[in-house]
Chains A and B, each alone.
Chain A
Amino acid sequence: MSGPVLEARELSIRFGGLRAVDNVSFAVERNLVTTVIGPNGAGKSTLFNLISGLARPQHGTVFIEGKPYRNAQPHQMQKAGLARSFQITNLFFDLPVAENLRLAAQVLEPKRLWTMPVSASRRAAEVVEQLLERFGLQDKAGYLAGALSHGEQRRLEIAVALACRPKILLLDEPTQGMSHGDTEHTAGLIRSLTSDVTVLLIEHDIGLVMSISDQVIVMHQGQKLAEGKPAEVRANPAVQTAYFGHA
């Protein structure tokens, strides 16, 4: 199918007098990594909330493969093929790592398995195994998610989002608080995902942004300041003033 896989059109939300996201439009092409950057409080996470159905835009529409979603709820966006991770780790901390993944993968099973014991869910079990391996969590499968280290929890956070096999993956600062080595590894992982998903990323590490993004969107005070290839965006004087703090 042609056309953008994800499109945001004139999304806006205000909290009291604050225009957290102000008339933001952009389109994301299939199997690319698009990164949203911007200073703290620019409205990046709020933008993700609007797209994923966590917050309702006061204005604007989200399109997935050309189909409009207005005021859709998170579970409806999931059905539409969208999954997300969170800036603040949002896992099932009291449940085992494997169960975190299995819960996220169980939507892949046909409806008739809904009333069968989970041991019948072969497909979900396969996905769990794959993700445990891909994210280096095999040894931790039986641990409670709350017992993992910060870096491991951040990896699980991404893996849980991936477990429902989404078309579009929104990652909100996936490498936040990770060690340098973990960050490099995660960057490679995100890059490798694009063979089957389209990634929309929020990231602060500029080096990482420049190396893994196909497209960069710059936000500032709720508005889209610039958009383009990483090098173009970096050379943009307005971006340099607003974001890098020098012209």
Chain B
Amino acid sequence: MRDALTNSMRASHVLALVLLAAGLMFAAFGAVTNDTFYLRLATEALIFGGLALAVDILLGYTGLLSLGQAMFFGLGAYVAAVVLIAIPSFWLAFGAALVAGILTGLIGGFIANRVRGVYFALITFGMAQVVAKVIYNTRSLGASDGLIGVPIVKINFGLFAVSSDNPVGFFLFTMAYVGALYLIAAYILDTPFGRLLIALKANERRVPFLGYHATSARLAAYVLAATIASLSGALYPMLRGFASPELLFFATSGNAVITVITGGAGTLIGAIYGSVLLTVIKSYVGSWTEHHLIVIGILFMLVVIFLPNGLMGVVRPWVEKLLARKTRS
């Protein structure tokens, strides 16, 4: 008998493949039509999808509502920007964002994990506001203007290189990068450690009696999510050439939560679908009204009321059944 949770994760992988195929088609179309705008927009959707992935690890798997995940995303962006301005090396920027994500995740986790529930949400919110304000007022980081002048970076893979100013190349690279973050998260969530996070969400009070220190497990989940957010943020200055304080603001954190809930919390791939969907809606609605936030707000309410498990909450069980039937026959 195959594990039900493993089976659900496989269904997510099938849906990830569908998205990958769509992405490749989109890239081919963009290449043929010599598009820049939509490829860049789609790249941005994937980068923010990485942030949503981090939120889903906390919200959908560990049962923690973070209202400040953008802090780690923004820190990753600033760290990468600072490194790239000094030395335009992708791998150096990547390494710096990785270390920054782990360290700030540990610090933030020590603070936020002292409390639960609403208080956890408020503390994560507060920490992000404080850090955002500090950056906003730091002249050497460009203050309210943000850190501009991030150079074009050549991402060297030995056999070939991708330049961040090549719309198709950088889109494909971002797809592979966020795809790797997704696969790492999916792998971890299917290990005994990952199941422990799922257990924390289901019933935190029983976890200690299974022989685990619940607070440590929660901290580990927090660090993992911080690292994924930071690594996602690191791509932002490569795409846009700057990092701005808005990346750390509540709008960014809140948007990531909306993305996860719309896409389907606790499905992982829902984070990416949600991000793509919201980006499409924003750019479409934004073309005929400035008030796209109203539309997003109404859409979000409709999702919460009619699709409480999000888009993937509807689609994934259907794929699961398909998979189950296939293994049985």
A113 to B190, CA, bound (A): 12
Decide yes or no whether B100 CB sits under 8 A from chain A. no
Instruction: Report how many residues on chain A are interfacial, defined by Cβ distance under 8 Å.
Output: 37
Selecting from A31-39, A83-91, A229-237, the interface stretch reads: A83-91
Is the CB–CB distance between A91 and B193 below 8 Å?
no
Q: Which of B6, B203, B211 contacts A164 (CB 8 A)?
A: B211
CA distance A164 to B210 in the complex (A): 7
Cα distance A114–B194 in the bound complex, in angstroms? 9
- A134 interface residue (CB < 8 Å to B): no
Interface string of A85-103 (1 = CB under 8 A from B): 0000011111110110011
In the bound assembly, the distance between CA atoms of A94 and B6 in angstroms comes to 15
Q: Given the complex of chains A and B, what is the CA–CA distance between A117 and B3 in angstroms?
A: 11
Smallest CB separation, B205 vs chain A (Å): 6
The reply to whether A119 and B3 form a contact with Cβ atoms under 8 Å apart is yes
Distance of A117 Cα from B191 Cα, bound (Å): 4
Chain A residue contacts of B205, Cβ below 8 A: 90
Contact of B199 with A118 in the complex, beta carbons under 8 Å: no
| Shortest beta-carbon distance from B109 to chain A in Å | 19
A93 near B203: Cβ-Cβ < 8 Å = yes
Q: Are B208 and A98 in contact (CB under 8 A)?
A: no
Instruction: Tell which of A9-17, A73-81, A179-187, A197-205 binds the partner.
Output: A73-81
A-contact bits for B192-220, CB 8 A (1 contact / 0 none): 11011011011101101111111000000
Whether the Cβ atoms of A74 and B195 lie closer than 8 Å is no
Contact: B208 with A118, CB < 8 Å? no
B192 close to A84 (CB less than 8 A): no
Cβ proximity bits A138-180 to B, threshold 8 Å, 1 near / 0 not: 0001100000000000000000110010000000000000000
Query: Is there an interface contact between B4 and A118, defined as CB atoms closer than 8 Å?
Result: no
Chain B residue with the shortest CB-CB distance to A129: B1
* Pair B210/A104 contact, Cβ less than 8 Å: yes
Chain A hits for B38, CB < 8 A: none
B contacts with A: majority SS: helix
Query: Quick check: A79 and B210 within 8 Å, CB to CB?
Result: no
Contacts of B198 in A (CB 8 A): 95
B5 within 8 A of A: yes
**B3, B199, B201, B209: the one within 8 Å of A84 (CB):** B209
| A126 adjacent to chain B (CB < 8 Å) | no
Residues of A within 8 A of B191 (CB): 114-118
User: How far apart are B230's CB and chain A's nearest CB, in angstroms?
Assistant: 21
Q: Say whether A226 faces chain B, with CB atoms less than 8 Å apart.
A: no
Least CB distance from A69 to B in Å reads 14
Q: Identify which of B4, B187, B206, B208 contacts A99 (C-beta below 8 A).
A: B4
User: Contact: B190 with A118, CB < 8 Å?
Assistant: yes
Identify the closest chain B residue to A77 (Cβ): B209
25 CB-based A-B contacts, threshold 8 Å: A73-B208, A75-B214, A78-B208, A78-B209, A90-B203, A90-B206, A91-B203, A91-B206, A92-B199, A93-B202, A95-B5, A99-B5, A103-B196, A103-B210, A106-B192, A107-B211, A107-B212, A114-B191, A114-B193, A117-B187, A117-B190, A118-B190, A119-B6, A141-B1, A161-B209
Binding site for B on A (CB under 8 A): 52-53, 73-75, 78-79, 83-84, 90-96, 98-99, 102-104, 106-107, 109, 113-119, 121, 141-142, 160-161, 164
